[in-house]
Amino acid sequence: MSKPNWKNFEHFKYKNLDLLKQAFQDLELKVPFSTNTNCLKTLIYKNGIFIPNRLSIQPMEAVDANEQGGPSELTKRRYLRYAKSGAGLIWFEATSILEESKSNPNQFTINNSNVKNFRELVEEIKELGTKTLEKIGFEKRPILILQLNHSGRYSKRGHKRTPFRTYENEELDRAIGINSEESSILTDNELKNIENIWVEKSILAKEAGFDGVDIKSCHGYLINDLLCSRSRSNSDYGGPSLKNRSKLLIDIISKLRKKYPTNNDFIITTRLGVYDGIPYPNGFGVREDEEGIIPPLIDLKEPLQLIKMLYDRGVHLINITMGNPYYMPHITRPFNQPGNSSNIPDEHPLFGAYRHYKTVHDIKEQSPSGIIIVGSAYSYLQQFAGYVAAGLVENNWVDICGFGRMAFANPNFPIQIYKEGKIDSKRTCITCSQCTELKKAGRSTGCALRDKEFYAPISNSQKN
């Protein structure tokens, strides 16, 4: 039998932990495991941020906002399940700062007319989450972060794309079926206006009772698009300088930190895409001297510079992610089965998961010690994910392990890890990409396999 190659895709086939460990070893990927998951129960406290344990619910859009852009009954059901999960950190999904910057018509948006609805849900989550954590032996209550976003070139009006681009990138436009004639490039004045709106909506998040706000800077959306805009000319917001390309993000955070000086007042954070897999010069966190290598090699020089800039402005919690799901989805979320519109990549999913773990490790090693780092890409490991999460935390590769797709399939995964040391194999996410397909279709999104009553009929309707 030939030795596995990281460029060869393989489906998840590991019936026990030893087989999974062996697969990583055969691929020469050094990932720490630990069957002692007690380290995931430990609290973390830095710079005024107190998180009761090391497991987080990641921001997963579920396309179930009501007509006012606020939480629906389906939203409430989902987040109250997260509240009962035992996760110490609940990262609320992408919420648009403007109606016209949504990525789908049922994405959340926060405004003066629906802030009360958000506040009511936040209060319920905090109350139920606190009771759950106390019951299983944790101090404090869960921390709730609201992710605020502008979808940039992926914006839609209804189901029609209405892109807001920051620079010309024919390859990205072609991937989603648009051309440069359909939209102009945002001007500096327009970006300045967006900055002010972002600050206003962040203040609304505080009024809604969230503990903090995430200025979303990943996955190809507006701020991430700016970070890649080296070809943007005659602009304060683009070009060769990282200072210019990060100006929108830095200015928003600086204004918010001036209003809320400490994390005890309000946590200012970001979900930061440190590597998007797009070749230089249009990629962020990529090597510029490796032509023809797809995906390009990682270069963390600029991401680390940006993290230091953020830290100097009082950002002490960062959620690290990768990729652009509209371009190479397997980089963002390693999967067992691609979605209907995606191809099987020339990459072993275990290598894709390792890319996340090792990059977060490298960032953590080279970043200020006062930053709490949240990592991603654990759901692919199914019922064994808790053992890798424990190994990474135990060996100081990451501070908090965030689960997205797993939370759709099995929101009780944290309690299962705390009590049993492992995730229930009959309830685990199998990374089949059905939830991704539901989101792409603009349908209410969840797990069609594990939550059939609510999502299987929706999924089945897509196949007919």
Whether pLDDT at 464 is above 90? no
CA angle 248, 360, 10 (to 5 degrees): 115
The pLDDT tens digits for 371-406 are 999 999 999 999 999 999 999 999 999 999 999 999
CB atoms within 10 A of CB 35: 11
% of the chain at pLDDT higher than 70: 97
Rounded Cα–Cα distance for residues 157 and 162 (Å)? 6
Whether residue 4 is preceded by a cis peptide bond, meaning omega within 30 degrees of 0, is no
Q: Which two tokens stand for residue 267?
A: 């946590």
Decide if 449 contacts 442 (C-beta within 8 A): no
The band of 459, judged by pLDDT with boundaries at 50, 70 and 90, is low
Q: How many CA atoms lie within 13 A of 248 on its CB side?
A: 33
Instruction: Output 293 or 358, whichever has higher pLDDT.
Output: 358
Q: Which residue has the tokens 């991704």?
A: 436
% of the chain at pLDDT higher than 90: 91
Question: What is the DSSP secondary structure assignment for residue 261, as one 8-state letter?
Answer: -
What is the pLDDT, as a whole number, of residue 462?
A: 47
CA 180 from chain centre, in angstroms, equals 28
Mean pLDDT of the chain: 95
The pLDDT tens digits for 13-70 are 999 999 999 999 999 999 999 999 999 999 999 999 999 999 999 999 999 999 999 9
What is the pLDDT, as a whole number, of residue 183?
A: 84
SS3 91: strand
Question: What is the DSSP secondary structure assignment for residue 381, as one 8-state letter?
Answer: G
What is the pLDDT, as a whole number, of residue 458?
A: 54
Mark residue 63 as left, alpha or beta (left: phi above 0; alpha: psi -120 to 50; beta: remaining).
left
The band of 292, judged by pLDDT with boundaries at 50, 70 and 90, is confident
The band of 290, judged by pLDDT with boundaries at 50, 70 and 90, is confident
Decide if 337 contacts 433 (C-beta within 8 A): yes
Mean pLDDT of the region 77-91: 98
Whether pLDDT at 4 is above 80? no
The band of 438, judged by pLDDT with boundaries at 50, 70 and 90, is very high
What is the pLDDT, as a whole number, of residue 1?
A: 35
- Looking at domain 17-463, what is its CATH homologous superfamily? Aldolase class I (3.20.20.70)
Cβ burial of 18 (10 Å; 0-12, 13-18, 19+) is exposed
The pLDDT tens digits for 92-122 are 999 999 999 999 999 999 999 999 999 999 9
Rounded Cα–Cα distance for residues 201 and 436 (Å)? 27
What is the pLDDT, as a whole number, of residue 159?
A: 85
CA 144 from chain centre, in angstroms, equals 14
* Domain boundaries of the chain, sorted by first residue: 17-463
The pLDDT tens digits for 139-169 are 899 999 999 999 999 999 988 999 999 999 9
Exposure letters 336-354 (e unless 16+ CB within 10 A, then b):
bebbeebeebebbbbbbbb
Whether residue 281 is preceded by a cis peptide bond, meaning omega within 30 degrees of 0, is yes
Whether pLDDT at 229 is above 80? yes
